[in-house]
């Protein structure tokens, strides 16, 4: 992330002025996919890539926003009817509105931002953007009175209310709470979380980007969520205490097999198994048992591909290639429908794996995948 770049662009666009500078990261997730909105566990970490924004209150009731990467400038007011059309600006607008709803007296500001989280790669570039502005507006207009969880919820509500994605809390949580060198296990029902030092000796994490852009809003993400809710409603008839799929066992699911669609059944089966896999991975990590961690990652991929059906040919191919190369663990990461696989690779295998996966992918799909080494970084913060 290049702060000087952002500062010089801000100066140029806003008459030589200087503002305050904030940053928030994208995220990875070791395991626990599509479990967040099912009240289950997730295991993300923030990365060293993210969004940097410079912001300065401008004494008006207008936000003047410049996207440095897209070279696009948008102005909007702060009332509900002022929603801008540009999708990148809707994130900022949504955050302003959600902060206002929580009692923060947001006023007009000038802002320019840039990022280095690859877009549509499943690394939560949008959460990074939301967290940056939620954190910044809290400092600049809210005297820091909104707590960190609520800031994450501001980002999530922005997705729900202004961007059409009924996402869970994982991405925004990871972006706000990230800590260098640590993964976080979050219980998405109680919102209890725990930091886990993540320094795998002899292994490294690498992302392989299929460069198939995932588009959560237009994809079947919301439909997956609906399937889960359908099954819960059915199970609740026999077990009123059940609130989320997280509370369900395979026995409970089997009881309602005749009453739910085959598709909904498969979705729920995946989630019930995935919730357990996060716990298994935490146990394995505490014992330094990376082989088990890796095996669970492969199981997640199978589940996401065959039961939850959020993979695609390119991602399945990347997963198969990782397996062929002897990579310890590999799976599609994030919402799916494109984006990256996350791979747990032995140090000595790294070079061969990267060369092989690039070669084979290019041969099959006619373009190169992108490789990102994972560095676990800090969450939302003020830089200047």
Q: How far is the CB of 281 from ligand GLA (least distance, A)?
A: 14
- 60-65 LR contacts (CB < 8 Å, sep 24+): 60/107, 60/108, 61/107, 61/108, 62/108, 63/92, 63/93, 63/96, 63/108, 63/109, 63/111, 64/14, 64/108, 64/109, 64/110, 64/111, 65/89, 65/92, 65/110, 65/111, 65/112, 65/113
Give the whole-angstrom CA distance, residue 70 versus residue 89: 11
According to CB under 6 A, which one of 19, 25, 50, 335 is a site residue for ligand GLA? 335
Q: Copy the structure tokens of residue 11.
A: 């100066």
Mark residues 305-334: x for contact with ligand GLA by CB under 6 A, - for none: -----------------------------x
Dihedral of CA atoms 276, 278, 283, 287 in degrees, nearest 10, equals 140
Residue 104 vs 304, nearer CB to ligand GLA: 304
Residue 163 vs 375, nearer CB to ligand GLA: 163
Residue 125 vs 230, nearer CB to ligand GLA: 125
Residue 72 has a CB neighbour count (10 Å cut-off) of 12
CB proximity list for 244: less than 8 A, separation 6 or greater: 38, 39, 40, 189, 232
Cβ–Cβ under 8 Å, residues 153 and 94: no
Q: How far is the CB of 334 from ligand GLA (least distance, A)?
A: 5
321: left (phi over 0), alpha (psi -120 to 50) or beta: alpha
Catalytic residues: 171
Q: How far is the CB of 168 from ligand GLA (least distance, A)?
A: 3
Give the whole-angstrom CA distance, residue 338 versus residue 332: 8
**# residues near ligand GLA by CB under 6 A:** 11
Angle (deg, nearest 10), helices 87-101 and 148-158: 130
Residue 37 vs 135, nearer CB to ligand GLA: 37
Q: How far is the CB of 123 from ligand GLA (least distance, A)?
A: 9
Residue 153 in 3-state DSSP? Answer: helix
Q: Copy the structure tokens of residue 112.
A: 């320019």
Q: What part of residues 99-128 is at the interface with ligand GLA (CB under 6 A)?
A: 124
Residue 171 vs 264, nearer CB to ligand GLA: 171
Q: How far is the CB of 94 from ligand GLA (least distance, A)?
A: 14
Residue 9 vs 27, nearer CB to ligand GLA: 27
Residue 170 vs 212, nearer CB to ligand GLA: 170
Cβ–Cβ under 8 Å, residues 206 and 47: no
Q: How far is the CB of 290 from ligand GLA (least distance, A)?
A: 22
Mark residues 27-46: x for contact with ligand GLA by CB under 6 A, - for none: ------xx-xx---------
State yes or no: residue 338 binds ligand GLA (CB under 6 A).
no
Give the whole-angstrom CA distance, residue 242 versus residue 245: 8
Q: What part of residues 158-177 is at the interface with ligand GLA (CB under 6 A)?
A: 167-168, 170-171
Q: How far is CA 88 from the centre of its chain?
A: 16
Residue 32 has a CB neighbour count (10 Å cut-off) of 24
Q: How far is the CB of 29 from ligand GLA (least distance, A)?
A: 6
Chain residues in the site for ligand GLA (CB under 6 A): 33-34, 36-37, 124, 167-168, 170-171, 334-335
């Amino acid at each position: 992330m290049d702060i000087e770049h952002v500062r010089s662009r801000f100066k140029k666009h806003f008459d030589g002025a200087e503002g305050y500078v904030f940053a928030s990261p994208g995220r990875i997730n070791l395991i626990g996919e599509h479990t967040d909105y099912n009240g289950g566990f997730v295991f993300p970490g923030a990365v060293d890539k993210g969004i940097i924004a410079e912001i300065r209150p401008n004494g008006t009731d207008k936000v003047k926003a410049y996207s440095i990467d897209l070279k696009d400038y948008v102005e909007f007011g702060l009332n509900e009817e002022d929603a801008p059309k540009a999708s990148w600006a809707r994130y900022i607008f949504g955050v302003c509105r959600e902060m206002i709803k929580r009692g923060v007296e947001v006023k007009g500001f000038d802002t320019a931002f840039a990022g280095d989280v690859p877009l549509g790669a499943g690394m939560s570039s949008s959460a990074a953007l939301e967290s940056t502005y939620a954190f910044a507006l809290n400092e600049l207009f809210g005297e820091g009175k909104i707590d960190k969880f609520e800031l994450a919820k501001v980002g999530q509500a922005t997705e729900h209310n202004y961007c059409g994605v009924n996402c869970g809390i994982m991405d925004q949580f990871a972006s706000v709470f990230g800590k260098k060198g640590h993964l976080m296990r979050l219980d998405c029902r109680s919102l209890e979380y725990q930091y886990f030092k993540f320094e795998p000796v002899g292994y490294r994490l690498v992302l392989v980007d299929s460069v198939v852009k995932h588009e959560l809003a237009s994809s079947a993400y919301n439909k997956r969520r609906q399937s889960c809710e359908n099954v819960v409603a059915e199970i609740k008839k026999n077990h009123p205490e059940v609130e989320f799929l997280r509370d369900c066992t395979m026995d409970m699911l089997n009881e309602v097999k005749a009453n739910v669609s085959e598709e909904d059944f498969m979705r729920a089966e995946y989630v019930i198994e995935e919730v357990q896999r996060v716990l298994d991975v935490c146990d394995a990590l505490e014992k330094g048992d990376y082989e088990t961690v890796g095996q669970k990652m492969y199981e997640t991929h199978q589940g996401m591909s065959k039961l939850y059906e959020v993979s695609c040919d390119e991602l399945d191919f990347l997963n198969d290639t990782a397996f062929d190369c002897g990579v310890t663990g590999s799976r599609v990461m994030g919402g799916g429908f494109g984006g990256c696989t996350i791979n747990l690779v032995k140090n000595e295998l790294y070079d061969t794996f990267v060369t092989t996966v690039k070669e084979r992918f290019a041969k099959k799909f006619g373009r190169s995948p992108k490789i990102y080494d994972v560095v676990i970084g800090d969450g939302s913060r003020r830089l200047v």
